[in-house]
Amino acid sequence: MKELSIDGAWVLEPRILRDSRGSFHEWFKADAFAEHLGYNLTLAQANCSVSARGTLRGVHFADVPPGQAKYVKCLHGAVLDVIVDIRVGSPTFGQWEAVRLDDVDHRAVYLSEGLGHAFMALTDDATVVYLCSEGYAPRREHGIDPLDPELGIEWPDIVPLLSDKDAAAPSLAEARASGLLPSYAACRSHLDELRAAATHP
């Protein structure tokens, strides 16, 4: 696991064993997560999405606490996965980082509670799985316009296909003005509580 430029985000670059039969790699190890995060990753829900080329999902996030941490991997095809720092007060607020996830290099990304998440499918039938720390709760789920010029995410030159909900999502500035965004302090406090609980169960 390697830390990305945004605090609370990592990329996993697995060692892949290949031979004439195919390949094998480990894409999740609990002890590696505990070592880097300071607590065990709780799994409350696992999701799978299949997307046509150009499908753009996000930017999605959940209220903190409890938020929703995600561990994301592309099983088939390829996507451009984007992590956005939407935590008010964060040193990297408004910044984003992109990682290509595909079925060749088998990278995966982990984003902590409070970070925004989006991806664009680069191929047809791009199949993405997410391990989530909390289950889906509509009242706590929010979105930001992934095409917001203020964010300036550099999406591939593909006509984006958005859901009606994502297309109607507010800009980063609008979400901040309405009080939708989590605070960096609240996110840090939540993670400190998880680490303390792991140290003194």
Backbone angles phi, psi at 54, to 5 degrees: 95, -15
The residues pairing with 100 across neighbouring beta strands, listed in sequence order, are: 80
Among 60, 106, 117, 190, the one annotated catalytic:
60
> Catalytic: 60?
yes
Query: Which structure tokens are listed for 76?
Result: 């088939």
C-alpha to C-alpha distance for 99 and 119, rounded to whole angstroms? 9
> Catalytic: 130?
yes
Among 71, 106, 130, 184, the one annotated catalytic:
130
86, 175 contact by CB (below 8 A): yes
Estimate the crossing angle of helix 184-199 against helix 30-37, to 10 degrees. 120
Measured at the alpha carbon of residue 4, what is the angle toward residues 187 and 74, in degrees to the nearest 5? 95
Cα torsion at 188, 46, 126, 50 (round to 10°)?
A: -120
Which bin fits 178, alpha (ψ -120 to 50), beta or left (φ > 0)? alpha
Question: Active-site positions?
Answer: 60, 130
